[in-house]
Amino acid sequence: MEFVGRETELQKLHRLLRENQQVAIAAIAGMAGVGKTELALQYANSHRVTYQGGICWLSALQDVGVQLVQFAMNKLQLNIPEDLDLAARVKFCLTKWHQGEVLLVIDNVTNYREEVRCYLESVPARFKQLITTREKLQPPIVRLDLDVLTPRAAMQLLKSIVGRERFQSRYSEAESLYQQALALRCKLLGEEHPDVAQSLHNLAGLYNLQSRYSEAEPFAIQALALYRKLLGYEHPFVVQSLNNLALIYTFQSKYSEAELLYIQALDIFERRLGANHPNTAAVRQSLEDLRDGLN
């Protein structure tokens, strides 16, 4: 599958991981929604042959150590001593891991010291760590900074992200899979979990891509409400959800509702980042474009 808009970054990312053990994909302005996770996902999919020891995807929204141990038990069939504490169990897994180079992807890191370093500060060199974050990590972690895509490139990127199946009009299959994922996450994690909010967000995005805006709207609303409840009203995921829902409203000509959401997002950024921050300027521009369209 072609990954539009980030081809240069993909090549650079591979080179950096060949030369370094830890690479962080970060947004230049610290903004959510620039494609950090998508770039990491595409890289992992494109280089499965490179990492003969396997690719392990870990979400920093949950305990990284617990996830790594579960992966080793379920995917690698490792028998881990039960009398060890969590840190020791992680170390045991790393020493008993299958042969070959390994890619550990740690997604959505907000506090590297507490979420990652406590488990992966010293690991064998064959374990490459690919981190997505808005945190300004320092050497020896090497940064790959992403800037915001142009609107045209962003739309092309979205079409590539959603997968070849959906892009070739196999939307019903993707919809079924996303619905199953939502149901499974609700069953295993409970209805109030960040991964459930992500599934709601994914369904909204799928419907939005098909211009099924009235169906996208309730999922986007639920995702926003759940992110607010779990992460607080000013979390970056909340601002991202505000912008996404505003876009859906705009496509439905619900301009007053879209304007209100953009105003909320702008208010958060002005207070947290300042009036002249690039993120603030981007939201302000979206609001101005909306208002210009009404004149």
Alpha carbon separation from 22 to 16, 19, 137, 140, 251 (Å, rounded): 9, 9, 11, 7, 41
The C-alpha atoms of residue 106 and residue 59 are separated, in whole angstroms, by 6
pLDDT of residue 166: 46
For residues 172-185, give the mean pLDDT.
Answer: 82
Start-end of H helices in the chain: 7-19, 36-46, 64-74, 86-96, 112, 118-120, 151-161, 164-167, 171-189, 194-209, 213-231, 236-251, 255-272, 278-294
Instruction: State how far Cα 232 lies from the chain centre.
Output: 18
pLDDT in tens, 9-60: 888 888 999 889 888 887 644 444 446 777 887 788 778 778 888 888 888 8
- The structure's pTM equals 0.52
Question: What would the CATH number be for the domain defined by 7-146?
Answer: 3.40.50.300
278 compared with 143, residue with greater pLDDT: 143
The C-alpha atoms of residue 54 and residue 37 are separated, in whole angstroms, by 18
- Domain spanning 162-294: CATH superfamily: Tetratricopeptide repeat domain (1.25.40.10)
pLDDT in tens, 93-115: 999 998 889 999 998 888 888 88
- How would residue 164 be classed by pLDDT, with cut points 50, 70 and 90? very low
Q: What sign has the CA pseudo-torsion 150, 154, 220, 40?
A: negative
Comma-separated ranges of CATH 1.25.40.10 domains in the chain: 162-294
pLDDT in tens, 186-199: 888 889 998 899 88
Comma-separated ranges of CATH 3.40.50.300 domains in the chain: 7-146
Would you put residue 4 in left (φ > 0), alpha (ψ -120 to 50) or beta?
Answer: beta
Give the 3-state secondary structure of residue 136.
Answer: coil
Alpha carbon separation from 166 to 33, 42, 145, 207, 215 (Å, rounded): 20, 16, 29, 11, 17
Which percentage of the chain shows pLDDT scores above 70? 85
